[in-house]
Amino acid sequence: MIKLSQINKRYPNGHEALKDVSFDVAQGEMVFLAGHSGAGKSTLFKLITRIEKPTSGQLFVDQQNVSRMRDSKVALLRREVGVIFQDHKLLMDRTVFDNVALPLIVIGMPHDEIKKRVRAALNKVGLDGKGGQKPVTLSGGEQQRVGIARAVINRPNILLADEPTGNLDETLSDEIIDIFADFNRVGVTVLIATHDLRQVERLGKRTLHLEHGELIGDYRHASSGSQTSMKNTDEARTDG
């Protein structure tokens, strides 16, 4: 589903965000991307959604070569990839409904269908009856749920979540991550960037560990918490 081959990313200021990163994520897999701030997690997401282009290497998303993708095709790629941001990226002057409906408006879906889908998505993330409210009236956790509803409304094949639990307490974090696990259970490929190792250990999913732009580990935690395998082991990719 996602394949990176010797990806390097150097920003114009000379900062090397990713160095020779290679890995595969299979369809229906749920993978954690772990690492400290500045490890390259966000850059990786920017490359997958073509917000940035790699300096070198090949990146495939759903068999499309994103590194060589024409600008006119980028919008179509982004419709296949739902993204959740730590800062939610919501339109504060619009209602929750408007925010969640945006990806459907963009593809020109009829209004009646949009209403049905938004209602279902809000129900799924536990925000029933909050469609008419402005995001500013919601708590941080609820705002994150709006972001999730918006990311999944278009039924994407891939979900990327960049530090989705960054500002949330443990209970809320668990709830949010469980929503992602639910989507993964129905076949959505999920990639979650986090430095919250508790979540990684709790779910026992495959984990890619980035440090200073390098992939230093590709392993799997057992849900009990014990680390079972190390870098680039094929056994680690049998999840999902």
Partner 1 sequence: MGSYFARHVQVFLATLGDMVRTPISTINTVVIIAITLLLPSLLYVVIKSSQGLSDGWQGRPQMSVFLQKQVSASEAKQIFQEIQLHPSIELAEFITPQQAIEEFRLLSGSVSLDEELAFLGTNPLPPSIVLMPNKAAAKAESLNELKEQLEKFEGIDTIRLDLDWTERFNAILNVLTRIGLLLSGLLAMALVLIVGNTIKLLIHNRRDEIEITKLVGGTNTFVRRPFLYYGTLFGLFGALVSLVFLLIAANLVEQPLSKLASVYQRQSLLHEIQAMEVLCIIAAGAMLGWLSARWSVAQHLWKIKPS
Task: Give me the residues that bind partner 1 (CB under 8 A), please.
Answer: 49, 51, 72, 75-79, 83, 89-91, 102-103, 105-108, 110-111, 150, 154
In the complex with partner 1, the residue whose CB is nearer, 50 or 220, is 50
Question: Crossing angle for the helix pair 140-152 and 111-124, nearest 10 degrees?
Answer: 130
Considering the complex, what minimum distance in angstroms separates the CB of residue 60 from partner 1? 19
Q: What do you get for the CA distance between the two ends of the chain, in Å?
A: 12
CB of 214 to partner 1, least distance (A): 24
How far apart are CB 89 and partner 1 at their closest, in Å?
Answer: 5
Query: Cβ closer to partner 1: 89 or 231?
Result: 89
Q: Which C-beta is closer to partner 1: that of 84 or that of 215?
A: 84
- The minimum distance between CB 231 and partner 1, in angstroms, equals 31
- For residue 72, the minimal CB distance to partner 1 (Å) is 8
Closer by beta carbon to partner 1, 72 or else 224 = 72
Could you tell me where the beta strands, DSSP code E, fall in the chain?
A: 2-10, 16-25, 30-34, 56-61, 64-65, 81-84, 158-162, 189-194, 206-211, 214-220
Q: Which is nearer to partner 1, 124 or 198 (CB)?
A: 124
Retrieve residue 195's tokens. 């430095």
Short-list 208, 123, 195, 129, CA closest to 165: 195
Both tokens assigned to 27? 């369809």
C-beta closer to partner 1: residue 108 or 171: 108
Residue 232 CB-half CA count within 13 A = 6
d(CA 170, CA 240): 25
The least distance separating partner 1 from the CB of residue 6, rounded to whole angstroms, comes to 25
C-alpha pair distances (Å), 87 with each of 143, 145, 183, 187, 213 = 9, 12, 21, 26, 22
Where do we find the tokens 């779910």? 203
Helix H or strand E encompassing 235: none
